[in-house]
Amino acid sequence: MRKNILVLLVASILLVGCMGGAHGKGHGKGGGLKMKYYQNLCRSVSVENTVRDIVWSKVSADPAMAAKLLRLHYHDCFVRGCDGSILLDPTQNTTTEKTAGPNRSISGYEVIDEIKTKLEANCPGTVSCADIVALAARDAVSFQFRREMWPVFTGRKDGRVSLASEVGGNLPSANANFTTLLNQFGTKGLNLNDLVTLSGAHTIGISHCTLVARRLYNFTGVGDADPSLDPTYAQTLRNLCPNPINPSTALEMDPNSSLSFDSDYYRALNQHKGLFVSDAALLTNRQSASVAKILENPKLFFAQFAMSMVKMGAVEVLTGGQGEVRTNCRVVNS
């Protein structure tokens, strides 16, 4: 009986997941992407194994790197699609995405460079930086489990444009409310189910006190501390983030297990211990709150996360004759 209820829940999650894919451009695993895209294009090494081996050795040496690489892919996909635009260094004339405000804790660029160098040596001009980022995100999360946590369809091309000015409007803020979050995900072809599921990425990694300060203190012009935050957890956070706030103080997003990719995020969330306003906002909508309840089950979370990552990985991708394959992920080809 219990099992039947679970099956039903999964089925309805999957259904909601599929129905949401009808708008936005270039998403869906179609999007021109496919499995084993590089099989015949790069014969001297396995592209997938090369990425995995380097990522696993980096994450094994520094477990915090898993969250960095996962977030890198998200930030790439949400601004101009998954086209490697997050990797471009600023030039004399342009300020690129990575220079924008939300770049604060973004890193992992050196890992992507190392993979790229290895692949260029074996198959020059073949493997896009955008695909490397997508594979690296999957492999980073997968290290903990020693198995692929979701399929990565490949064949993305790299974009030639990256503008700091495009980051603000596209990346949801930590203080965004439910309506804004749903709208911002909607413009990427991602639905309510994807929003709740992908927010579960906050089961790993760190944040900073500046991003939660206004939930903890009564600042002039901002208003009261956030009453939706569990009072005990709020006090814990005030101890970690004393006022005045030190902007460089880091905070674990899932205090119980910020290095373990699991469904604890939802347990915390449902106990009103979500860190950001954007996390807590998921409980303000009846539908998303019930999805958050369901996703406390690890099996359902992993299955649903896999599906939503495939969708996110296809957002506004460049394929076929579009874009280019950069030879250096930090600069466009000349």
Ligand X SMILES: *[C@@H]1O[C@H](CO)[C@@H](O)[C@H](O)[C@H]1NC(C)=O
From the candidates 73, 75, 208, 272, give the one annotated as an active-site residue. Answer: 75
16 is in an annotated binding site: no
CB of 20 to ligand HEM, least distance (A): 15
Given 9, 10, 45, 174, the residue binding ligand HEM (CB under 6 A):
174
- The Cα 180–Cα 21 span in angstroms is 19
**Distance between CA atoms of residues 107 and 71, nearest Å:** 9
Which one of 50, 154, 193, 278 is in contact with ligand HEM (CB under 6 A)? Answer: 278
Phi–psi pair at 29, nearest 5 degrees: -70, -20
| Residue 158 identity | D
Does the footprint of ligand HEM cover residue 207 (CB under 6 A)? Answer: yes
The whole-angstrom separation of Cα 47 and Cα 132 is 9
Cross-strand bridge partners of residue 157: 318
- Asked if residue 97 lies in contact with residue 167, where contact means CB atoms within 8 angstroms, the answer is yes
The listed partner (ligand X, ligand HEM, none) that binds 205, CB under 5 to 8 Å by sort, is ligand HEM
Site for ligand HEM in 58-77 (CB under 6 A): 67-68, 70-71, 74
Distances (CA, A) of 170 to 134, 179, 186, 284: 19, 14, 11, 22
Backbone phi, then psi, for 154, in 5-degree steps? Answer: -125, 175
Q: Would you count residue 82 as binding ligand HEM (CB under 6 A)?
A: no
106: which 2 tokens? 């973004």
Residue 19's CB: how many other CB atoms inside 10 A? 10
Q: Which residue, 26 or 102, is less far from ligand HEM as judged by CB?
A: 102
Residue 181 near residue 281 (C-beta atoms within 8 A):
yes
Residue 226 counted as an annotated binding residue: no
* Listed ranges 8-16, 19-27, 121-129, 203-211: which one lies at the site for ligand HEM (CB under 6 A): 203-211
128 versus 278: smaller Cβ distance to ligand X: 278
Residue nearest to ligand HEM (CB): 205
Tokens found for residue 124: 């020059």
CB nearer to ligand X: pick between 103 and 187: 103
Active site residue 75: yes
Per-residue binding letters, 20-39, with ligand HEM (x by CB under 6 A): --------------------
Contact 282, 288 (CB under 8 A): yes
Catalog residues that contact ligand X under the rule CB under 6 A: 92-93, 98-99, 101, 103, 177, 179-180, 218, 224, 256, 264, 267-268, 271, 273
Nearer to ligand HEM among residue 11 and residue 62 (C-beta): 62
Residue 197 has what DSSP assignment?
H
Q: Which is nearer to ligand X, 144 or 180 (CB)?
A: 180
- Stretch of 111-119, 144-152, 167-175, 215-223 lying at the interface with ligand HEM (CB under 6 A): 167-175
d(CA 120, CA 123): 5
**Residue 250 main-chain phi, psi, to 5 deg:** -95, 155
CB-count burial class (<10 Å; 0-12, 13-18, 19+) for 89: middle
CB 94 → ligand HEM: shortest distance, Å?
23
β-partners of residue 252 are: 206
Give the one entry of ligand HEM, ligand X, none that residue 307 binds, where binding means its C-beta sits below a cut-off of 5 to 8 angstroms depending on kind: none
If binding is defined by CB under 6 A, does position 215 make contact with ligand HEM?
no
What span, in angstroms and rounded, lies between the C-alpha atoms of 138 and 154? 12
Distance CA 188, CA 127 (A): 24
Task: Give the residue, chosen from 16, 164, 206, 259, that forms a contact with ligand HEM under the rule CB under 6 A.
Answer: 206
Per rule CB under 6 A, is residue 326 in the interface with ligand HEM?
Answer: no
> Which positions touch ligand HEM (CB under 6 A)?
67-68, 70-71, 74, 104-105, 172-174, 176, 181, 198-199, 201-202, 204-208, 211, 276, 278
Catalytically active residues are 75
Binding site members for substrate:
172
